[in-house]
Structure 1
Amino acid sequence: AFQEPYTVSRGSELEGYCIDLISELSKELGFKYKLSLVKDNRYGAMDASGTWSGMIGEVIRGEADLAVAPLTLTAVREAHVDMSTPFMQTGISFLLRRDSASEESSFSLLSPFSTDMWVGILVAFLLTGLCIFLVGRISPTEWAEPDREEHSFTLLHSFWYITGALTLQGAGPHPKAPSGRLISAIWWLFAVLLLACYFGNFSSMLQSNSKHVSIKTFEDLANQDVMDYGTVEAGSTKSFFKNSNNPVYRRIYEHMERKKSYVSSMEEGVRLAQGGNFAFIGEAVSLDLAVARHCKLSRSEEAIAMRAYSIAAPLGSPLVKNLTMAILKLSESGELTYLRQKWWASSCVAVDGAHTSEALRPHDLRDLFLLLGLGLGVGLLLALLELVSRARNQAKEGKKSCCSVMTSELSRRFGSKGESAEQDDSDKSKA
């Protein structure tokens, strides 16, 4: 029977886990085989008259020597056919979206912003502090007489000043020059909008964190009412919960009956789980395949009502003992594990935790960073224009070249204070 990934059709060829399994068994035991698909596309169930359908029926009637498929080993089947040792173990588990799967309070003060965002803020902070310091030194309005006046905007005070602005507290003295005021105003705007984004995301993440219920087991699922859950309407999983005497499983069944939260197929269950507020209960191996195909989903580690898949043969078949030996050898050599990994391989790249996806990234606030960068550039340009204007005026008065005055001004503002003092003393002694 066709069922991904056990048996799938690729043009005229058949491939899948079961095709690989029978190939390995034939190599181990040295027999030849001919593949044929079951006519009614069913695995096998007994009707009221005692007649078997599907693969089990064909094996009983002698139409097939072996049935290789995910056939669950049950007492009823064992009574009518011989079944080998299991080649795969499964159980009942549930599937839900990753961000609903409980990151037990992984929230922290750094969560609202991504790592890249924090790095971006640090770079913006350092650049702004440096620009405030440079403007404080370059602008004649801010520092009119480098030889006589003390420079208030040291590098340390510049960083302290923007730290005060970032926390909305303020730390004087404030810039007097238009260039320094422009950079300060842009930084204040940046800080206010950044804090608004931080606290907005902080609040929404706190609320979503309080809504998230830690759902790791069936007991967790039964004890919460935030998330709906269901299983396929006509299936063995529903029957298990219906017939169970375990109070937790009974509560799960009663919830599904009350909410009518059954689904018509596994595909519908997986789709609802992807939507977010639904946990789909089904067979673990089938759910693992869904997790491998859909990166947003995760499966509970807990599996209940363990069952096994076996190969069926007619009663008294001499093949069964040999098949059991071959399956055990394949298991011990790691071949069964390899086949499982091959056909259940995940196509997902490593996904981050739930809250990481909610964190703001630099791309989300790129306009804010662009505004800050523009403000810093314009501020530095204004400071340089102020200095150029002063240099031109001094050049006209002293009948010197503008470039030499400009170079002299820059060396006075960025040279060491000791050198300036020594120069003043030497000028006075000469006089």
Structure 2
Amino acid sequence: MLTVAAEFMPHHTLEWIDDPLAMDGRRLHFTGAMAKIIEYLSLGVNFTYRYVLSSDRTFGTKFHDGSWTGMMGMVVREEVHFAAGPFMLSPERAAAGDYTVAVWNGDVRIVSGLGGLKIDPWSFLLPLTPFVLAGGLTTLLGVTVVMQVLSSCLPGKALCFSPVRVLLQQEAAVHDENYCLPHGADVEWPGQWWWWERLVLGLWMLTTLVLTKSYAGNLMSLLAVRYVPQPFQTPRDVLDDPHITMIWQKYSKNEHFLRTAESGVFREVAELEEKGRLKFLTQAQFPESLDTLVRAGHHVLIDIENAIRSLVALDFSSKVNTDTMLRPDNEAERFSSDNQVMSLTESGLLKYWAQDVPNFTRCNNVPKTVAFSTTLSFSNLWGVFVLLAGGLTAGLVVWCLELLTRLTKKSY
């Protein structure tokens, strides 16, 4: 009969049940992926077992005085034969006990509340990417230069700004025998324009028509789209937001890493504890924290990928309301039968058991944009009016400068 240390994880259950054969009349009932792994090992290596909990309900980390907490502490003090984990690899843990072969490689992820759908009033600028702007302006400059260079050899030709006026959809002035219009009109008839000038300007008008119609066709849909804000992609993003508090797992490998980091972004994360922006909670406290602190939008939760995805899946299953998305570190079991663990990994059973959670992949790809069939309001369009007001203001400033320049010349 071996004693096995276990701990709560999002996709596991821990409960005491009555058992007349147990020493105190009850025993700890443990279910989930880790329980299946322990059962698999017990059949392969031939042993019976019972589960126990650590006093502080954590995975365990090493203090400065050399003592250990959590399940790792129970292993180091030989209070249990082994611990179920899963444990992330670290030099301190490797020096204190024996790992099995590594069974999982992954990342650490950030989970935060969605905060509702937002309207981007500047969405009408999205099609105007730097590449599109550079290509359009380059073509405009090329057409203008070609027409100016080729027309410079002809007598009586004024500067031609027709390509610019075509792009801005301004009406061109026409000068002929029946109309008396200002000198310097773009289109003069008859015979003032050569055939190649008409061809170049016609091609440019066709190009401008295609661009403007394509943009106008997408404009209404762009203004009706609402987006899902996802501001926290890295720890730096969280650090830069003074209103957000981080939650990490208590007495874990990640906490030890933060407390021992001497420089870099994780040193800055550790310093947040003095400012009240860093908390350490146990795995058993994560579900409630996700439902209250994280969902409210002023906290983010950072942990290994499988734990995060399981938390989100369980939350979605209970509320049918996905409020999150996110990235795991190396994990390994604490037992001596490497062949059994390797067979679990190679057969895919371990991954299957770890991901055997309802809606485990349901929230993997939350849509970043959502389209609504609603009437346009000022919240959708105020960016357009700001741009219009800016253009009119710039035009007014240029007009005032022209008047000032003219008055200055007359004074001389």
TM-score, with normalisation over the residues of structure 2?
Answer: 0.49
Higher helix share: 1
